[in-house]
Amino acid sequence: MQIYIDTASIEDIRAASDMGVLDGVTTNPSLVAKEGVDFHDRLKEICDVVPGPVSAEVVSTESDGMLEEAKPLLEIADNIVIKLPCTVDGLRACKHLSSNGVRVNMTLCFQPLQAMLAAKAGAFLISPFLGRLDDLGQDSMDLIQQIRTIYDNYGYETKVLAASVRHPMHLVECALVGADVATVPFKVIQQMMNHPLTDSGLKKFLDDWAAMNTPSSG
């Protein structure tokens, strides 16, 4: 499973990239606004750090506006992916862009038929949101499994990108049901390598090594 980071913090992106496991980035105007920087400038910085797909989200709600917004975004770098909402207008814009060789991430997916139509429109990524479904008492993994089954049944090449990931267990479950990608905050990436038994085991090895190499008195 590929790992993307969901942020606009260039510091977190560099730190995740330095770990050697980062495959891409997702971001949006809200995340960039928190950083207090220009949207296009920050996307350029991100693309300079990460060679993998970088999803850049539009804010227009009509297809014509989405296509106009996409033009300057695509000029930023070759690895920009246009991020569109799972709406009828988003679907129209996706079909137009994908037919012209542009990679599209269809976001805010909450049911399998949205995912099927996005795949038929040529989407590169479909982004079902896990945490927001869990907040409503629904099992978000059911959605991932349904999308995976539909895509496998019909040979759709669209990648399933698990979004709104809240904790490491989401990642374990996504990997088990076959999500292609998960996009996560930096804190979750850090948590992936944490376990108290690893820490205690390492401490014991180091303590034993230090004791073995400490000269005895007398």
Backbone phi, then psi, for 165, in 5-degree steps?
-80, 130
- Annotation marks residue 71 as catalytic: no
Q: How far is CA 113 from the centre of its chain?
A: 21
- CA angle at 116 for the pair 149 and 168, rounded to the nearest 5°: 60
In the set 34, 83, 120, 203, the catalytic residue is 83
Given a contact cutoff of 8 angstroms between Cβ atoms, the answer to whether 130 and 110 are in contact is: no
Closest listed residue to residue 174, CA positions, set 199, 193, 192: 192
Active site residues: 83
